A and B are shown apart, each in its own frame.
Chain A
Amino acid sequence: MVGETVIRSSSSGENTGQYSESLTIGSPFAESEPIHQKLAAFFSILVELVGRDLPEFKDVLAASTAREPVLRHSLETYLNDLRRRRADSIGRLRSVIAGTQFPPDPASAEPDSRFGLVSALPGHSMRVLATMDPADHWLERLLGLFADAFGGTEGYCDVVPAGPSDIAVLEDALQIVVSAHPSLAAATLAHNSVVVLVEGDHAFESASNAMIPHAIFVNRTVLADPVRVAEIILHECVHQKLYDLYLLHPLLPPGYDPDSASTVFPPWQRERWSYDRAFAAAHVYVHIAAFYDAMLGKETSPAIARDRRTLAVTRAQYLISTLTNSPERIASRKGQEFLNWLEHGLHAIEPDSAIRGTILKGGA
């Protein structure tokens, strides 16, 4: 199935579109299910370690680990503390867990009054923050991480609760991704658990941060356009997937430091990007290209699909070809495999031989 183009048909046999599955099947970086199984194993080790010191929380930890933003952040911090042999790690973890009600696992449709539920994939739901109770310890922790990750945002970019109409747009947006490219949706959307809306004069359009795994932040003002929201959610879920992959694979060289890494200066940007930022952006643009490419294969596709596809393809080509010769790529075997996989996926979308020649120039 690798690299095959799938022709989808309706029950009447009518052709309803086509898409490439190069990005979504047949690679350790593609399907979500094996990644989640590996993450579950990874975090079960941490749960066992923490459970030795905090046996009273073992059930809480076992129920909510790899796919819950606050607890996962705490467990990743705990592991980093272990690596650095910091003595106070367990105490800090206890303070996070005690008295905190974590959201149900995304595999569960169990209701939680703090959230609306949006679902597009079998066995997976995203929770949309819909109420903000100042006494909610989980929310307090999440807002703390939000402030740490995105700086002093109060008054400029504030977390706001979603209303029923917001949640309906988010649900529609997820359905657009699934409808356009089912396997792309399955390979990406399952890497996010929580959607949080933001507002403010200086609020970003959307954002993710490795400090807050499995949570994405979306500006309420973009919710007017479901196709745009679909792209944004896909974009952020692809970032989330990369955070998951970073835990499992050494995609960056040992001891990687973004401050001293080589940089990329994309022509559409005003600043240079560090290697890891360009690496993550290449990952996103290839997926966005696949999404709009699949939309173009449908009988009815939005007017912007062609332009957005071209933009994503062009940027992905630029980034992949630029990263190909970087010392960081050469220093990480897994990083090379990852970029080769992206290149293969892009080639399935845009098999222009001249462009491919450029991409491969100087590559291993």
Chain B
Amino acid sequence: MTTTTIDPLTVLNKAPNLILRPIPEWGCLFIYTPTQPDIHCLDARSWLLFELCDGRPFSEVLKEFSDAVPEGTAEHEVLASATDALSTLLEKAVIRQESA
């Protein structure tokens, strides 16, 4: 698990000009990222977080994501899981961040 942190006010957006291929029946989304050319396969967790990156700040992404995780999941686990997945999406240029 990464130790990267994301500022709660950081605004998260999808990167532009992505090519998407959703396969809902198998819970995965394939994405082509033109700025760092490659094809990535997102699992259901990363796919949900990707969809939440619509211009809202990380704090709101986290709140929505928390509602989707299994009941009883510890808050620090939710934060770590979301931060880990979003950091990977940022690193692969699937999403981009803007300071508020």
Q: Within the complex, which residue of A44, A49, A79, A82 is in contact with B21, where a contact is CB–CB below 8 Å? A: A44
A354 at interface, CB cutoff 8 A: no
Q: Quick check: A38 and B19 within 8 Å, CB to CB?
A: no
In the assembled complex, the CB of B95 is this many whole angstroms from the nearest CB of chain A, namely 18
Q: Quick check: B41 and A37 within 8 Å, CB to CB?
A: no
In the assembled complex, the CB of A27 is this many whole angstroms from the nearest CB of chain B, namely 12
B38 at interface, CB cutoff 8 A: yes
Q: Quick check: B37 and A34 within 8 Å, CB to CB?
A: no
Proximity bits, B26-57, A CB within 8 Å = 1, else 0: 10101010000111010000000000000000
11 contacts between A and B (CB under 8 A): A37-B23, A37-B25, A38-B23, A38-B28, A38-B30, A41-B23, A42-B30, A42-B39, A49-B19, A79-B38, A82-B37
Proximity bits, A22-41, B CB within 8 Å = 1, else 0: 00000010000010011001
Of chain A, the residue at the smallest CB distance from B41 is: A248
Of the four ranges (under 10, 10 to 19, 20 to 34, 35 or more), the interface on chain A belongs to 10 to 19
* A39–B35 alpha-carbon span in the complex (Å): 22
* A44–B39 alpha-carbon span in the complex (Å): 11
B28 contact set on A, CB distance < 8 A: 38
* A83–B39 alpha-carbon span in the complex (Å): 10
A45 at interface, CB cutoff 8 A: yes
A270 at interface, CB cutoff 8 A: no
Q: Quick check: B37 and A38 within 8 Å, CB to CB?
A: no
In the assembled complex, the CB of A280 is this many whole angstroms from the nearest CB of chain B, namely 21
Q: Quick check: A48 and B19 within 8 Å, CB to CB?
A: yes
Q: Answer whether A34 and B26 are a contact pair too, CB < 8 Å, given A41-B21, A44-B21.
A: yes
* A275–B21 alpha-carbon span in the complex (Å): 32
Proximity bits, A220-261, B CB within 8 Å = 1, else 0: 000000000000000000000000000011000000000000
Of the four ranges (under 10, 10 to 19, 20 to 34, 35 or more), the interface on chain B belongs to 10 to 19
Q: Quick check: A83 and B38 within 8 Å, CB to CB?
A: yes
In the assembled complex, the CB of A330 is this many whole angstroms from the nearest CB of chain B, namely 14
Of chain A, the residue at the smallest CB distance from B37 is: A82
A85 at interface, CB cutoff 8 A: yes
Q: Quick check: B39 and A79 within 8 Å, CB to CB?
A: yes
* A82–B21 alpha-carbon span in the complex (Å): 19
Q: Quick check: B37 and A83 within 8 Å, CB to CB?
A: yes
Q: Quick check: A42 and B21 within 8 Å, CB to CB?
A: yes
Interface residues of A in 272-328 (CB under 8 A from B): none
* A210–B41 alpha-carbon span in the complex (Å): 20
B32 contact set on A, CB distance < 8 A: 45, 49
A83 contact set on B, CB distance < 8 A: 37-38
Of chain A, the residue at the smallest CB distance from B20 is: A45
Q: Quick check: B38 and A38 within 8 Å, CB to CB?
A: no
A-B pairs with the 5 shortest C-beta distances?
A41-B21, A82-B37, A45-B32, A41-B30, A34-B26
* A45–B21 alpha-carbon span in the complex (Å): 7
A82 contact set on B, CB distance < 8 A: 37-38
* A225–B6 alpha-carbon span in the complex (Å): 62
Q: Answer whether A45 and B37 are a contact pair too, CB < 8 Å, given A34-B26, A37-B23, A38-B23.
A: no
Of chain A, the residue at the smallest CB distance from B32 is: A45
A248 contact set on B, CB distance < 8 A: 41
B23 contact set on A, CB distance < 8 A: 37-38, 41
In the assembled complex, the CB of A136 is this many whole angstroms from the nearest CB of chain B, namely 31
